[in-house]
Structure 1
Amino acid sequence: MDTFHLFFVAHDRASLAFWVRRTLVQPRDAVKTPRATLTRRAAPTSIPDAEGDLMKTLIQGGWVVGYDGHGHELIPNGCVVFENDRLIHVGRAFTGAVDRRVDAAGKLVSPGLINCHLHAATNATQSVFLDGLKADYFASNFVGYVAPRRGVPPPRAGDRADLAGTYGLWAALRAGSTTILDVGTMPGGAAPFTKIAGELGVRAYLGPAFRSAGYAFDGSRIVWEWDEAAGLAGLERAIAYVKEYDGAYDGRIRTMLFPGQLDTCTPELLRQARRWADDLGVPMQLHAAMNQREFHQILERHGQTPIQLLRSIGFLKPRTGLGHCVFHNEHSWCHYPYGDDLHVLADSGVTVVHAPYKYAKMGVKFESFERYRALGINLALGTDTYPQDLVHEMRWAALMCRMADESFRVGRPQDVFDAATLGGARHLGRDDLGRLAPGAKADIIVVDLLQMHYGAVHDPIKSLVECGSGRDVETVIVDGQTLIENNRALKLDEAALLRSVQAEGERLWHAVPRWHWSAKPLDDIVPPSYPVRSRAQARA
């Protein structure tokens, strides 16, 4: 049995049918061919699981986060009923017959969270490099540690890419994210990663990233290595992926376009991506305005801020996300008085995807969640780095907003909860996600509030944001299928997965000197928190 299947309980009929029925990939027309000649392929199908016959399930709360047509509402002692993959009742009581009952008394029944920015991987590199001890990392995002010496590729997951994909997605799902956007990472390649996501049971928006340049260290500085043809070829592959996989696994796998980073994409590549996203009818997301270096690089290259450049090429539209989008012209680190970036964002209908914990680690403020929200900018949340815990991100979004605005009246729990649910749904153009309402998808989480760190609960959303974490999520349902029940994973062996992730981490850490610009061992680059006693000392 191969490594991938070691982790999965046999749910093979759906995946087998998908691979048997899918249309073989045919050569694609060049990117510059008139788009009217290309049409979307039929979505691959899959055979429902044996338990997929019509079944009504009632979850009796507890607190239920309902939806009144305009926004969330709280229903004490409420109930939720779903039939197969759709909700049919959300309210105080249900008098009809049901096939299964779930007792959620004293718990929170919530729409599944929407993680709008995740890089599926093990946490082996991020767990040590996302640390203020590394001087060259300061505010430079991942380029400060991932970019290899020029001409030396960094070690990737390689034959253990299955671990990166499985662990990355499952860690987010375990913490309550039922819809996950892997922003172009796709460890192991598009087809294997899609298979992992499909068999895990998550709802995912996927697509391979593409860009015109890569980062490398040349001595002590970061350089961009340009290959515009590679960027266009990457866009072609992304278009082919959309046509092949959009709607796979009974619609749980949807597709997006993911141009890599603003400073690694030419304006022409971004224009092409914009046109294709419109023609294919898929969302799109780009890392932009994500660090100070990028802000000044774009200003130097184009005479415009990152946001102004994106407006000038027609990139900013609804169903388009900007990953991070921290450094606008009025940000305290930029001090650039020419322009009005935030109003540009508000007028465009674009979504800003905020990953607060990652920036808190770098000492960078998002200025500010409340300011963006008050202007009408749609906000969504993502984890980006570890832990892949969107409950954790809600708290950091609230607290960092209060720090940025120096006010306890902002960063309200309901606002960050909206970003983790409704904001993500708006980014994707989905009115059947991020809410519990009849007709919506049966993507549901149950959070155990009966724990010491919650104590007395007066308002479950305030308690969740102020006191909770993804570890409190005890049940996860996606598309009507229960993936985690009473804290028990139903689709994989978590202990075996963690053992393999640890072994892979050891391999990656040992390989650091082969690609890092300093050529030093990991512990010389990022010293341990305390001296580590050797085995010989331990025996003494």
Structure 2
Amino acid sequence: MPAATVDLLIEGGTVIAFDGQEHRYLEGGSIAISGDEIVAVGPGFAGEAKRRIDARGRIVIPGQISTHAHIGAHEGPRQLIDSGRRDFIRSSFLHFLPASRSGRPGFLAPQDARASLRYGFATLLRHGVTTVLAFAPAGPRDGELMLEVAQEFGIRLVWAPIVAGGRYWLEDDGRVVRELDDAGGLKSLEASARFIETHRGALDGRLSGVIALDEYYVSTPALRREAKQVARTLGVPFTLHFVEQHREFFETMGATGKTPVQCLAEEGLLDEATILAHCVYIASHRAVGYPLEDDIAILGAAKVNVAHSPVAFSRRGLALESFSRYRRAGINVALGTDTYPLDMFSEMRMAALMNKFADNNHEEAPAESVFSASNLAGAQALGRPDLGRIAPGAKADLVVIDPRSLTFGPNPDPVRAIVHLATPEMIDSVIVAGRLLVDGKRLLVADEDEIIDAAARSSRAVWDGHAAHDILGRSAAERFPPSLRAWTE
């Protein structure tokens, strides 16, 4: 039974509540919160509350879960939309990730790491993401900076420093080459496992671990097997970037005679605790054109999870084929916020639209399925039945949307409107673990203007330093010409 007096009561709104099986509309609903947990959901609440939020005219949804994110100001990718080297075949990260073999500064060397992280976490919260699985190296002070900033913003973080099975090098002739390093990968795996064990329960219980192997393409089968076994031993999810590059499929086929999906299956990596980030270039994809193997059936039989981030791929002219096909096969498709602006509303909308185009069917990717991918599917991928739902016993992670705008407008179906019309500017309040972090469309935990100004300085330093990184000494504007020429007299 709920306590007679709860800490927080949200009442009067349209609540997207969970009945134990699926989301339901609860008009004029009440959500009672004690501590970090929801204790009651229903048409009314008879007890007292220390604090109340009047949600009349608002829509209350579960906190969104991003199952794949690179948290920061994305100083590099901001320059790559509609641009970049053609020979990278849509893999835009190859423009800024590789280290210079001859020792030139990296693309992001001038970055202010703290300012970039603060901008990323602030963006996630303001965009309604309450739980995020982060892909990142340890960074400054062996991961302490990441934890400090996550603590400042109060978000729920799934993270441990990535396991790197190799690296990319930028050669002086402009080539980018891959180098495998099994010994280094095992060393970073040990460090990641130590981090998870050392920091269990950190961030007031909001931190949980994950074994994140940076890439399938930059790892060996032996390292992948060992990383998955460590994840099993620690009881945490296992994730990796998987077939996000065109060449991954064909080089794997050439070397093994099997598709990358078949290789992962033989390595014993596919199960309900594995999250494949992207998983785009599989046998049936039109950009691959190898219909002789049914990769989707293999993935579905294993009930694997896919972290789908459609915005990044749509900008490179590519789509998953498709959200609906994967789901029908039994794959748990969750959503990620892989690229700037770390916005789940954009990801939901693009997931729906790109699926409709990919399958040439306007009924595919219905709004309720896409919406659930932003919450329930993410919770399933993380093995957290206490997240992604508004129900008694769930963690009190909630987002309050103010739909009163010309963009959203009067709409008889809130979920359809959220998927196709909502924007982050409509988020009025964000609650994580019962704590109000955003209210009145402003961050409560930090100064938004200061965050934006600091990120702008970091970005300018990165852009201004591009000539020192570039093998031809070109400025950022020369390497990535602006859309319009400057006015000249």
With the length of structure 2 as denominator, give the TM-score of the two structures: 0.95
Q: Pick from 117, 123, 130: which aligns with 1:165?
A: 117
| Structure 1 equivalent of residue 76 of structure 2 | 125
CA distance in 2, matches of 1:246, 1:515: 38
Q: Which residue of 1 aligns with 2:201?
A: 247
Q: CA deviation at 1:515?
A: 2.3
CA–CA separation in structure 1 for the residues paired with 2:94 and 2:258:
22
8 A Cα contact 2:111 2:458, kept in partner? no
How far apart are 1:122 and its partner, in Å? 1.3
| AA in 2 matched with 1:506 | R
- 5+ long unaligned stretches in structure 2: none
Q: Secondary structure of the equivalent of 1:172?
A: helix
> How far off its partner does 1:466 sit?
1.2
8 A Cα contact 1:263 1:297, kept in partner: no
Query: Aligned partners of 2:136, 2:209: CA distance in 1, in Å?
Result: 10
Pair 1:147-2:98 in alignment:
yes
Amino acid at match of 1:197: A
Q: Note if 1:85 corresponds to 2:41.
A: no
Distance across 2 between alignment mates of 1:284 and 1:417: 24
- Give yes or no for contact 2:351–2:365 (8 Å, CA) kept in 1: yes
Q: Does 1:235 align with 2:186?
A: no
Q: Contact (CA 8 Å) 1:164, 1:187: kept in 2 or not?
A: no
Deviation at 1:370, TM superposition (A): 0.8
* Displacement of 1:299: 2.1
The letter for the 1-side match of 2:146 is F
* Structure 1 residue 157 displacement after superposition: 5.5
Amino acid at match of 1:142: F
1:480 is aligned with what amino acid? G
Q: 1:207 aligns with which of 138, 157, 160?
A: 160
1:494 and 2:448 equivalent?
yes
Q: Which amino acid aligns with 2:51?
A: R
Cα RMSD, aligned residues only = 1.7
Q: Is the 8 A contact 1:473 1:487 kept in 2?
A: yes
Structure-to-structure mapping, 1:443-522, within 5 angstroms: 443-522=397-476
Question: Can you give the 5+ residue segments of structure 1 that lack an aligned partner in the other structure?
Answer: 1-53
TM-aligned CA distance change 1:66 to 1:102, over 3 Å: same
CA separation of 1:293 and 1:342: change in aligned 2, threshold 3 A:
same
Partners of 1:286 and 1:358 in 2: how far apart?
Answer: 17
Q: Distance in 2 between matches of 1:455 and 1:142?
A: 38
Alignment partner of 1:96 out of 41, 47, 51:
47
- Flag the 1:322–1:141 CA change in 2: closer, same or farther, 3 A: farther
Residue pairs, 1:151-300, within 5 angstroms: 151-152=102-103, 153-156=105-108, 160-188=112-140, 189-218=142-171, 219-300=173-254
Deviations 1:456-484 (A, max 9, x none): 12111111111111221110000001101
Offset, 1:91: 1.4
Query: Which residue of structure 2 aligns with residue 384 of structure 1?
Result: 338
Query: Aligned to 2:191, what secondary structure does the other structure show?
Result: helix
CA displacement 1:314-359 (0-9 Å, x = unmatched): 1111121000000111110111233211111101121001000100
Q: Decide whether the 8 Å contact of 1:176 with 1:470 is kept in 2.
A: yes
Contact map agreement 2:69 2:135 (CA 8 A) in 1 = yes
2:259 paired residue among 298, 305, 322: 305
Matches within 5 A, 1:421-432: 421-432=375-386
Relative distance call for 1:313 and 1:178 in structure 2 (3 A) is: same
1:226 and 1:351 mapped to 2: Cα distance? Answer: 26
Contact 1:202–1:478 under 8 Å retained in 2: yes
Aligned length: 482
SS of the residue corresponding to residue 151 of structure 2 reads helix
Q: Is the 8 A contact 2:271 2:304 kept in 1?
A: yes
| TM-score of the superposed pair, with normalisation by structure 1 | 0.86
Q: Structure 1 CA distance, aligned partners of 2:138 and 2:128?
A: 21
